[in-house]
Amino acid sequence: MNKLDVPSLINPQMQAVLAKEDSLAGDANDTSVGFEVMRENYVLGRSYWVQGGPVMAHSFDMEVSSPHGPVPVRFYYPTEASVAGKEAGEAATPVIVYVHGGGWVLGNLETHDRICRVLADDSRAIVVAVDYSLSPEAKFPVAVQEVAAVAEFLHENGAAYGIDGERMGMAGDSGGAHLNLASTLYLRQERGGADYVKCLLLYYGWFGLGDSASQRLLGGPWDGLTREDFAFYKSLYAGEDVDFENEPYINLFNNDLTRDMPACYIAAAEYDPLRDDSYCLAAILEEAGLPFEYEEFEGVIHAFLHYTKALDAANDALEHGASFFRRTVGIPEEGLL
């Protein structure tokens, strides 16, 4: 009720992407089929979009210990210089920890592989993607603590992988943006500090708003983010016993965001029901005089970052975030420090 006619408002590239999506996996956003089928459709749909893109100098998978068991991760080395640092055991290259989206329920290392390669290529940083435990099998706060454990591991042991653990960024899309901010706050408040996290790249995340103008006006079958859909994801993530409004590592606006914050690049989509979460976070940081950049990409919807094969906005968003990261941690325009 009272929704904007989003399919008629998005730009032609976004319209073409949605048409392609329908041909790949049908209605992959339909929450009524249950999370198991949704996962199958999500992987099927993303398998086309991850093809091609930058080729890494080196990549490998391993596991990192956490309070909840081993967490699979994937390392992306974009340059021979970054590989040389690994071989020498030198803390040479900054790192970006990438946390994938999917409403805490969907996604894995494969579904976001191209995003990570593009980000590594654009930033010239080593990217480490986190395959955190999905809900409902794992409930809050498991994913938050797993992401935090990976960040701690890289901070303490990064030199063995050619990583400068003092120059770390956290990046993520949608639920991944939520988790990378939540885990940074968790490190700050529960694990002795997060000073080594210098930068957050937050792509169209949900940060805690229970209602907003964008939630009222936007969201539909084209993005799977009606209010009913979002309630479905929340119920799987934390269950009925968790107070979403007051839990600080779920409603992130319950934390003090005016102090000890990394520099933030905040990217929003014009026709995303979660758009106002990004705007709210940017307004808080601006009022506090903290370093940030807010950018709203016109004519696109939630999850647009996946479509670098066909969507200019997706490539621009990743490059702009990578540029923000390079400036923040001191990677020169040519080469690595």
Task: Tell me whether residue 112 is one of the annotated catalytic residues.
Answer: no
d(CA 69, CA 134) in angstroms, rounded, equals: 13
C-beta neighbour count of 220 within 10 angstroms: 18
Structure tokens at 303: 């999850």
C-beta neighbour count of 72 within 10 angstroms: 16
- Among candidate residues 174, 183, 214, 278, the one labeled active-site is 174
Of the candidates 209, 236, 197, the residue with the CA atom closest to the CA atom of residue 38:
236
Residues 6+ apart with CB under 8 A from 272: 204, 214, 218, 223, 225, 300, 301, 302
Task: Tell me whether residue 58 is one of the annotated catalytic residues.
Answer: no
d(CA 249, CA 255) in angstroms, rounded, equals: 8
Of the candidates 270, 284, 80, 294, the residue with the CA atom closest to the CA atom of residue 200:
294
C-beta neighbour count of 114 within 10 angstroms: 23
Task: Tell me whether residue 272 is one of the annotated catalytic residues.
Answer: yes
- Among candidate residues 173, 272, 276, 277, the one labeled active-site is 272
Enumerate the active-site residues. 174, 272, 302
